[in-house]
A and B are shown apart, each in its own frame.
Chain A
Amino acid sequence: MNSKITFPELIELVATATNTSKRMSELFLKELFATVSQALIEGESVRIKNLGQFKVEAVKARKSVSVNTGQEVEIPHHNRLVFTPAKSLADALNEPFSHFDTVVLDDAVTDEQLAAITGDLENPSTPEIPSPPELPALPAPPELPATPAPPADPEIPEVPELPAIELPDPAESVPDGLASMPVTPPPFMPQVEKVSPQEEPIVEEQPVEEAAPQEEPIVEEQPVEEAAPQEEQPVEEPQAIVEEQVEEQVEEQVEEPADEDVYSAEEIERDKREVARKSMLRGVLLGALGMLLLVLIGWGIYAMAVSQKTVETADTVAVTHEEDMSNTEIVMRQGIAEADTAQPAVETVEEPKPAAVVTDTCTKTMFLTRMAKKHYGNSDFWVYIYEENEAIIDNPNHITPGTVVVIPPAEKYGIDPKDPESVKKAQMKSGKLFAKFRGK
């Protein structure tokens, strides 16, 4: 690799390849290149089979600038040698890459991804090194002999038990891993996935388990079906499970640090689930409210129309002076209609109010400033959110995650992100607040 073959070495190589003496091979090579050189000096091009073509090209005189002195120099007319490798030689050299082809890239492929790929190509050993020690710690092989069924076929139905046993036993680590893994979208995981399925069967064959390599994939697939409905996670795929198994192995190997990670992951997972549930509930509530509003508005319009009609009829009746009964009836109707219109009117007035009271929940990453940015378009207006919720929030710099704050309507404090005056006012206020809470 990358070494330079000298002439004596070449002579020896050719001699051994043709079963001739070194002397013969040396004579031949010297004569060969002498002949080629002579032909080239005479201006002839030489083509050697399976090697390529040597060609002498004339280069015209041209003007140039001397690098050192900066003066104009004329490069005189001269000849140069051009070597074009033969097709067969080029193909032989490119044999390792012959199965590659030029690929048109999608727009989705970013430069970062390409850089990551090339980085992995340069040091491919890094993802492979940690995995072999992991695999001996696989939970599956030690448990398999415990299942009392030597033939492979009856064992397969029992395999579903394995994950079931595994799941409750290491109650902290395994389900957490299951739960947390799919939620955290791992950008680098695909590589781990690719590595692990390849290696798992290989290493499992080494412990001389006949059924193990066949069963592994089944073990991996079945928990997916079981776990998916239980947890209702939208992004549960067999790949994720593979990752989790790898993850488990890592955890078992390095227990103490892994446990901490798992706890935090568990918390995050719990938080996320709660948030998801809340958002679901909120969505459902909002939908229901919207429906109610629509129905009420529809009813209101209908009632209005009816009342107008009744008023018209009432007028006509009043003009003609007919029986009292009809009058009272109309009055009755009118009253009903009025009551009808009154009800929706009141409600439609009331409805927007609860809808207008916008609330938001503080989290570790959702501060007042970000809320202000979200709702008002400028993070400087966080002071108004704080003022609105002064009763709940003690210190704007230390808000416990989960605190639900009311986002005041923009008109209440004259919030206008496009108005520099308004922004300046908010900044002034925030400066005062900062000064107030600096020591705390």
Chain B
Amino acid sequence: MENKKLVALVADKLGRSTEDVSKLLDAFTDVVATRCGELDSIAIPSFGTFEPKKKNERVVVNPGNGKRMLVPPKVVMTFKISNVLKSKLKG
């Protein structure tokens, strides 16, 4: 399901226009981006947790030519599924 279809579905269920819903969705993704950029995690009940994880810089060795490289630090977004959704998915 693509973004457009999702917005249409939610708008239909809420009885609101797609513009309103897409605006709300944009606001939500903005919040996720800014707060997760500050390394805050966002928990959504019965769905999961968006959790940014900071990875430190590290030295890797290219096995092909033996060159060592310094990989810069980075923040990785992880999503931890809630147990409710997990059990639902299993069945």
Complex CA distance for A97 and B1, rounded to whole angstroms: 32
Closest Cβ–Cβ distance, residue A169 to chain B (whole Å): 47
A14 touching B73, Cβ below 8 Å: no
Tally chain B residues at the interface, Cβ within 8 Å.
Answer: 60
- What chain A residues lie within 8 Å of B69 (beta carbons)? 102-105
Closest Cβ–Cβ distance, residue A41 to chain B (whole Å): 5
- What chain B residues lie within 8 Å of A90 (beta carbons)? 76-77
Q: CB within 8 Å of B: which of A98-141? A: 100-105, 109, 114, 118
A14 touching B28, Cβ below 8 Å: yes
* Interface status of A27 (Cβ within 8 A of chain B): yes
B75 touching A50, Cβ below 8 Å: no
List the count of A-B residue pairs having beta carbons below 8 Å apart: 170
Complex CA distance for A33 and B32, rounded to whole angstroms: 14
Complex CA distance for A93 and B71, rounded to whole angstroms: 17
- What chain A residues lie within 8 Å of B41 (beta carbons)? 2-5
Closest Cβ–Cβ distance, residue B33 to chain A (whole Å): 4
B71 touching A102, Cβ below 8 Å: yes
- What chain A residues lie within 8 Å of B56 (beta carbons)? 118
B37 touching A92, Cβ below 8 Å: yes
Closest Cβ–Cβ distance, residue A129 to chain B (whole Å): 24
Complex CA distance for A13 and B36, rounded to whole angstroms: 13
* Interface status of A18 (Cβ within 8 A of chain B): yes
Complex CA distance for A159 and B79, rounded to whole angstroms: 63
* Interface status of B78 (Cβ within 8 A of chain A): yes
Closest Cβ–Cβ distance, residue A27 to chain B (whole Å): 6
A105 touching B59, Cβ below 8 Å: yes
A47 touching B1, Cβ below 8 Å: yes
* Interface status of A374 (Cβ within 8 A of chain B): no
Residue from A51, A54, A95 having most chain B Cβ neighbours under 10 A: A51
Q: A residues engaging B (CB < 8 A)?
A: 1-7, 10, 13-14, 17-18, 20, 24-25, 27-29, 31-33, 35-37, 39-41, 44-52, 54, 56, 78-81, 83, 85, 88-90, 92-97, 100-105, 109, 114, 118
